[in-house]
Amino acid sequence: MSEKENIGNRHRIIFQPSGRRGYVDKGKTIKQASVALGVDIEGICGEQATCGKCKVRIEEGYFEKYGIQSGRDHVSPVGEVEKKFFNLQQERGGYRLACQTQVHGDIVVFIPEESRIRKQVVRKPARAMDIELKPAVKKYYVELVKATLHDTLGDWERLQDELEKKFGLSNLTIDYQALISLQNVVREGNWKVTISVWKDKEVIKVDAGQVTKRCYGLAVDVGSTTVAGYLCDLTDGTVVTTASMMNPQVIYGEDVMSRITYHMSNKDGLEHMNKAIIDGLNEIAGEAAEQAGIKREDIVDMVIVGNTCMHHLFLNIDPLYIGMSPFPPAIHHSLDLKARELGLKVPPEAEAADKGGYPPCQVACPAGVNGQDFLYLTAQGKFSEALELVRRAMPFSGVCGYVCTYPCEVECERGQLDEPLSICSTHRFLAEYELGAGRAKATPVVKKREDRVAIIGSGPAGLACAYDLIRKGCPVTVFEAAAKAGGLLRYGIPDYRLPKGMLDNEINFIEELGVEIKTSSPQKDVKSLFDQGYKAVFLATGAGIPQKMSIPNEEASGVICALDLLRKVNSGENVELKKRVAVIGGGNAAVDAARVAKRLGADEVVLIYRRSRAEMPAIMTEVEEAEREGVKLHLLAAPVKILAKDGQVIGLQCVRTELGEPDDSGRQRPIPIKGSEFNLDVSHVIVAIGQVVDKATLPAGLEYTSQGTISVDPETLQTSMEGIFAGGDVALGASNVIKSIAAGQQAAISIGLHLEGVDLKRGRPAPLKRVENVPKTGLEKVARRVVPLLELEQGKGSAGDSREEIAAEESKRCLNCSQFAETAAVVECRDLGVKIAPGAYIHVLPIEAGFVGADNVGVLLAEKPYEQDAIELIIDIGTNGELILGNRKKLISSSCATGPAFEGAEIRFGCRAAPGAIEKIEIDPETKEVRFKVIERHEWNTEVDNIGANGICGSAIIDVVPQLFMAGIIDRTGRFKKDLQHPRFRIDEGGAEFVIAWAKETSIGEDIVVCQDDVRNIQLAKGAMYAGAKLMMRRLGVDKVDKVILAGAFGSYIDKKSAAVLGLFPSCELENIYSVGNAAGDGARVALLNVDKRVEADIMARQVEYVELTVEPDFDKVFSEAMWLPHMKDKFPHIENLLPGKAAK
């Protein structure tokens, strides 16, 4: 490395974007240096400074990657001759003529596109695709009534009226820039104009005359290395032209990491890179418009995809945090921005949470179930996928479908229009659907952690906690005192309200994931659990002792506690209730007990409640059902005394009440009315006024609240004892199922943080922010439909729509609220400066995770793996390799640090795809002679002289290692066989190397070789890819993929046989390997042409589960095994015939 230092009068020079580097003697010109290093710069005047074609830019700043400080004072000063070729901006920007500029120090030189002799071949052609046309921008032609002295209505209002009258477009707004142009355009067109309307909401452009046909959009894929733009006609969906270029940010670093580093070590780094890409986009827009013969202002819509880093740099968002573990992006949600303005700058201290806003149903649900997303899938008839989504939040889709108090529906935005969605009955339906169709056994979760957790109590809180912990790979044991798991769900809720089959199915699912449930195992001694090696305990034992009424004769025979009654009935014990029964209380237990009493044969059941109907905590539909069944309500009455004879209940004395001031609970306090006592003739009294915690069953040393519940931190659920958490009724007091589930979830978060030793409060996810301003104009009212209960339907016979149809129809009413999410806080506004139609928007697709960006969402949209049955592995090959695995049931994604090897960097003669680059290599196994092809020549090197190769590009880099392997030149560990005797093979001080192109076949005057380090770098890259795929397969629980899709800049040029022999991915039939090219760009086009797909992108991006691979416990082993060719251990039945015999090693 020491030779890298300045040796006397030599300086380092790095040319960008090619990345070619070397040393140059002090005083030589940049042009001379470029010739010496084989870099081509235009120039036709013989270095006389008369043609001005050799413009280059001297970069300023410290370049961490190369370890050099470049500056404009490292070259000779600008001469007068040079100056005339530059405008002021260029001069200030460091532009120079290469032929006139002498090197006086280390420099980084950027050669702009126009000064390059050989243009980069951007191999990202558009693929023919069938996309349903539904663009965001539509054009409308209107003829206005000319303003007169009698009709002086403003131009805009005039236009608004006409648009409403003719096209029914109401509540339109107009973009400021469009407004400014309005008056002149209207008159220029003699009151005939064409209006461009964005999403039927906003007028973004006004043109004179009838030009509805002239409507264009630009879809752009911003890759780390190349930027490709597809200009589409929005009236018919065709790709009019393609424009592409090197990403001008390349000078700041070849890969995303080095760009983030440039930002970190240079004060204006972000600004430089942001400006570079905006300039680049303008160049693309300009070039595309020129090729198509239109004005750039005719581009009225734009969609951008890019990896997370490109996304942030384009939006001028600080990329620092995506460059460091744990790599969180600033925002996940898609964005709609004005092309011209914006300047979104997310403050760096902003937490890494979505700022977009969540649907109100999800925000209202204590357990965080995203109603919108599962309704979206239900609407498409994807019931099992929808259920999978509910399960992502919590395990009790069916249980909650039956017994939840559905706070989600109260908040549903649709309720403000007509009626809220029937979210509750829909997820009940999903669970019933699964029960009916049968469920495949759940795949057990790999237990990644060693610290075991004990949960005491298997009610909703305990099981929800266990469910979340096991999914994090944490071993969990649930101890239950009763004979069966479920707690109050099993013993406290009557069968007619929650069928046991449903409960069993959902508990089984949790057990199948790997949760150990020990029934008939009461646990009092928590300390002994810690002694047994449990590292944390969650107490979810509920409230087991009935609250006393404290009135005379409460001990009399015939007084029974509601939960006792329900437990007995649920356990199948015989209970006799005859004659008249009084039930005291207004909660669900009271109503359940009353209805059960009725079912057990009581002649008359009276429910006595001390407040009015409005204050009853029970679910109102349940109360109505009870009344329908004959239960009588005695409201505004309270018991005073039980009348007993010989220790047997014979009646109940009550007093009438009236409502006074509100109490602590906010409800009006019932006040007895003096002298209003009355007697009821009853034989049984069922008490259902609440339960209290049984302290005797809990560990000594806990602190309690004045209500007798365990005292916990309301946020973390931490008790007064280290490592012990409590939630559900034991800590909340009597609550409900969904709140208990939420408590279990919070406990799981706390326990996870506790085991990691992280602060319990700091590490918690931020609360979800509700989306604001969901528009409802122009929507028709549609009646709400509740999916009927399974048994009811069977009883009545199916009249009308099936349950499936009702669920799907009902789900279609969902407004998909989160699509209206506000974007991140705009802190500082400035001109974004993308020059298309001044009023146009740019839509930026959402991000999945720190290293799975909007480009990957583009791939999703283009490939639609979420509609496939086959298990697909989609590999997006680039500087940062991204993987998607799965099918319609579940998709997971990940990224692997392949490094830029496949893009040609870090390979001795690697280069990017440009004319002269070797793009295909074949080695004869017998003679070990090499055949190759270069870009833009049809012949092979063996067929013509002067083929003029200048490097090896991506597709050939993937060819070369398997070719060397199959020809027996390297062994399966990747090592060159030392004993090989062949003119192309040599070992010098740099190690072993093999000649691909002799000097006479090149344009650079030396042999192009592949050396041992090159092979090693390719092994690292391919090993990372393979290991990623393998770990994801394990995570998904599949041992084989049905289909492999190769996407990426040069995806369509990859030889799939080479990729298979190299071992880029696990074994797959060759005919099921597909190359699709730039799927990210295709996805951008899909989103450009169909706004519905933008909504779909947001929803799908949320559904794909991101997996971090490097934290898998055996990542090192999986990775290192995958570096061999094609793999150290795995079998490749499909390509066995291609692999060299056993003699290879």
Residues in contact with other proteins by CB under 8 A are 1-2, 4-5, 64-65, 67, 253, 257-258, 260-261, 264-265, 320, 323-325, 897, 973-975, 991-992, 1012-1013, 1016, 1019-1020, 1023, 1110-1111, 1116-1117, 1119-1121, 1123-1124, 1128
Facing residues of 232 across strands?
Answer: 217, 239
Burial label for 907, CB within 10 Å (0-12, 13-18, 19+), is buried
Nearer to other proteins, 253 or 1083 (CB): 253
CB 29 within 8 A of CB 37: no
For 454, the 3-state DSSP assignment is strand
Selection from 844, 818, 830, 1053 nearest residue 957 by Cα: 1053
Structure tokens at 307: 């990896």
User: What minimum distance in Å lies between the beta carbon of 970 and other proteins?
Assistant: 11
Selection from 480, 487, 485 nearest residue 504 by Cα: 485
Structure tokens at 761: 């409060």
Nearer to other proteins, 260 or 774 (CB): 260
User: What minimum distance in Å lies between the beta carbon of 1 and other proteins?
Assistant: 4
User: What minimum distance in Å lies between the beta carbon of 64 and other proteins?
Assistant: 6
Nearer to other proteins, 776 or 977 (CB): 977
Nearer to other proteins, 4 or 579 (CB): 4
User: What minimum distance in Å lies between the beta carbon of 1124 and other proteins?
Assistant: 6
Burial label for 325, CB within 10 Å (0-12, 13-18, 19+), is exposed
Nearer to other proteins, 371 or 878 (CB): 878
DSSP run (H or E) holding 290? helix 269-292
Q: Output DSSP code: residue 803.
A: H
Residue whose pair of structure tokens reads 């049905």 in the numeric block: 1042
Residue whose pair of structure tokens reads 């309307």 in the numeric block: 197
User: What minimum distance in Å lies between the beta carbon of 991 and other proteins?
Assistant: 5
User: What minimum distance in Å lies between the beta carbon of 1123 and other proteins?
Assistant: 5
Nearer to other proteins, 831 or 1114 (CB): 1114
Structure tokens at 299: 């581009």
Residue 734 CB neighbour total at 10 angstroms: 19
User: What minimum distance in Å lies between the beta carbon of 413 and other proteins?
Assistant: 41
Nearer to other proteins, 2 or 981 (CB): 2
Nearer to other proteins, 257 or 996 (CB): 257
User: What minimum distance in Å lies between the beta carbon of 1031 and other proteins?
Assistant: 14
CA distance 206 to 672: 72
In 223-338, DSSP assigns E strands to: 226-233, 239-246, 299-306, 335-338
Nearer to other proteins, 500 or 972 (CB): 972
List CB contacts of 782: < 8 A, sequence separation 6 or more. 418, 813
User: What minimum distance in Å lies between the beta carbon of 276 and other proteins?
Assistant: 18
User: What minimum distance in Å lies between the beta carbon of 312 and other proteins?
Assistant: 13
Nearer to other proteins, 74 or 933 (CB): 74
Nearer to other proteins, 594 or 1015 (CB): 1015
Structure tokens at 1: 């490395």
CA distance 595 to 588: 10
CA distance 904 to 1021: 12
Nearer to other proteins, 971 or 1042 (CB): 971
Nearer to other proteins, 135 or 974 (CB): 974
CA distance 191 to 258: 55
CA distance 186 to 178: 11
For 589, the 3-state DSSP assignment is helix
Q: What is the largest CA-CA distance in the chain?
A: 124
Nearer to other proteins, 617 or 1023 (CB): 1023
Facing residues of 217 across strands?
Answer: 232, 301
User: What minimum distance in Å lies between the beta carbon of 325 and other proteins?
Assistant: 5
CA distances from 738 to 388, 465, 741, 859 (A): 18, 13, 5, 37
CB 926 within 8 A of CB 40: no
CA distance 19 to 30: 15
Nearer to other proteins, 78 or 1128 (CB): 1128
Q: Output DSSP code: residue 970.
A: B
User: What minimum distance in Å lies between the beta carbon of 1015 and other proteins?
Assistant: 9
User: What minimum distance in Å lies between the beta carbon of 103 and other proteins?
Assistant: 19
DSSP run (H or E) holding 161? helix 155-167
Dihedral (C-alpha) 501, 503, 507, 509: value to the nearest 10 degrees? 60
The full DSSP string for 991-1033 is EEEEEEE-GGGBSSSS-EEEEHHHHHHHHHHHHHHHHHHHHHH
Structure tokens at 417: 């229009």
Nearer to other proteins, 982 or 1117 (CB): 1117
User: What minimum distance in Å lies between the beta carbon of 1108 and other proteins?
Assistant: 8
User: What minimum distance in Å lies between the beta carbon of 195 and other proteins?
Assistant: 48
User: What minimum distance in Å lies between the beta carbon of 1023 and other proteins?
Assistant: 8
Residue 946 CB neighbour total at 10 angstroms: 10
Angular region, 223: left φ>0, alpha ψ -120 to 50, beta rest = beta
User: What minimum distance in Å lies between the beta carbon of 100 and other proteins?
Assistant: 30
Residue 107 CB neighbour total at 10 angstroms: 26
Nearer to other proteins, 567 or 1016 (CB): 1016
CA distance 1025 to 534: 37
List CB contacts of 1028: < 8 A, sequence separation 6 or more. 881, 883, 894, 895, 896, 1109
